[in-house]
């Protein structure tokens, strides 16, 4: 230990200086110890938060796919299902993306997306996927905004959809089509959930739940409501992550959060 002495002072006077310094620093010890404990607590909380963040499943952001310009989800059976967002995208889906061996959905009442189960491998489409697609169609129709819990939905084959109006009838408006032949009616319950699987996906709870449980991810159930869309989007974002704009684009126009789940 090195001590500096003032040669103009006696040994006693130098000792007195160091004695006074010692008393001064001794008074500071309780405050210093308190500060140390405070920062130890903050460090512990920061470490805990870091460990929690590190333990979360890593969601890799994926390159945008063609179907993301529409409404879409992956069914419990692994089928891609797409739906229109408006008259223009309804028109695009029917004219460009609807193919043979697929199933098309619409509500009996106006104000619904055209929904198509994509089937590029010509498989038998399971009943669960048909059920979820009908729920998806109903949930993004005007029935959601009106507060209904169910909606009348029909499904048909692509060959039954036509843009040609009957003779003597005015041309069909954008997003409108003629349906020919028998319609298969169902009355699905309206239900939606939203998740982040690298891209934001909104669909029936059963389908979203399957996607999330496989990857140990969170999802949020969405119910009918009148909360501000941006507020709902921010709450969802805090739970599942992802871009806020993408989340809002995948929500119905009027909604609220039910609860979050894993």
Is pLDDT at 43 greater than 80 in this prediction?
A: no
Is pLDDT at 262 greater than 50 in this prediction?
A: no
Taken in order 182, 185, 191, 193, the sign of the CA dihedral is negative
Instruction: Write out pLDDT tens, residues 177-225.
Output: 889 999 999 999 999 999 999 999 999 999 999 999 878 899 999 999 9
Confidence bin at 49 (pLDDT 50/70/90): low
Is pLDDT at 2 greater than 70 in this prediction?
A: no
Domain span holding position 121:
67-186
Q: Which of 21-25, 121-125, 250-254 has the lowest mean pLDDT?
A: 21-25
Is pLDDT at 54 greater than 60 in this prediction?
A: no
Strand segments (E) across 88-203: 103-107, 115-117, 153-156, 161-162, 178-179, 184-186, 192-196, 200-203
Structural tokens at position 216: 């140990």
Residue 1 lies in a domain: no
CA–CA distance, 85 with 104 (Å, rounded to integer): 15
Instruction: Write out pLDDT tens, residues 97-127.
Output: 999 999 999 999 989 999 999 999 999 999 9
Residue 101 lies in a domain: yes
Residue after which a domain boundary falls, among 153, 186, 219: 186
Mean pLDDT for all residues in the chain:
88
Q: Which of 131-135, 233-237, 250-254 has the lowest mean pLDDT?
A: 250-254
For residue 123, how many C-alpha atoms fall within 13 Å in the half-sphere facing its CB?
14
**pLDDT at residue 215 in the model:** 83
**pLDDT at residue 32 in the model:** 73
Structural tokens at position 56: 């979360």
CA–CA distance, 9 with 28 (Å, rounded to integer): 27
Tally of structural domains, the chain: 3
Share of the chain above pLDDT 90, in %: 65
Contact at 8 Å (CB) between 243 and 199? no
Instruction: Write out pLDDT tens, residues 237-250.
Output: 999 999 999 999 99
If residue 73 lies in a helix (H) or strand (E), which one and from where to where? strand 71-74
* 88 and 168 part of one domain: yes
Contact at 8 Å (CB) between 146 and 115? no
**Averaged pLDDT, 153-176:** 85
**Averaged pLDDT, 73-89:** 97
* 122 and 174 part of one domain: yes
* 45 and 78 part of one domain: no
* 212 and 176 part of one domain: no
Q: What is the DSSP letter of 189?
A: B
Contact at 8 Å (CB) between 184 and 155? yes
Is pLDDT at 142 greater than 70 in this prediction?
A: yes
**pLDDT at residue 210 in the model:** 95
**Full DSSP string of 154-183:** EEE-GGGEE-PPPTTSPPPPTT--EE-S--
């Amino acid at each position: 230990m090195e001590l500096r002495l003032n040669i103009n002072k006696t040994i006693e006077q130098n000792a007195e200086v160091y004695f006074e310094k010692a008393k001064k620093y001794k008074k500071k010890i309780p405050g210093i110890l308190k500060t140390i404990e405070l920062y130890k607590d903050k460090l512990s909380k920061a470490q805990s938060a870091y460990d929690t963040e590190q333990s979360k499943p890593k969601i890799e952001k994926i390159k945008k796919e063609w179907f993301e310009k529409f409404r879409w989800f992956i069914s419990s059976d692994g089928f891609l299902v797409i739906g229109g967002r408006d008259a223009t995208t309804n028109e695009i889906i029917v004219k460009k993306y609807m193919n043979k061996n697929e199933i098309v959905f619409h509500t009996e009442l106006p104000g619904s997306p055209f929904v198509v189960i994509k089937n590029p491998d010509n498989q038998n489409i399971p009943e669960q996927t048909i059920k979820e697609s009908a729920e998806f169609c109903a949930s993004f129709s005007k029935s959601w905004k009106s507060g209904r819990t169910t909606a009348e939905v029909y499904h048909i084959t692509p060959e039954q959809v036509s843009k040609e109006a009957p003779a003597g009838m005015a041309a069909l408006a954008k997003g409108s089509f003629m349906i020919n032949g028998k319609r298969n009616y169902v009355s699905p319950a309206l239900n939606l959930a939203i998740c982040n699987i690298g891209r934001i996906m909104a669909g029936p709870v059963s389908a979203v739940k399957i996607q999330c449980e496989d990857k140990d991810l969170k999802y949020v159930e969405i119910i009918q409501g009148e909360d501000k869309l941006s507020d709902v989007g921010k709450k969802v974002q805090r739970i599942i992550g992802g871009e806020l704009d993408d989340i809002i684009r995948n929500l119905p126009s009027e909604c609220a959060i039910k609860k979050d789940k894993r």
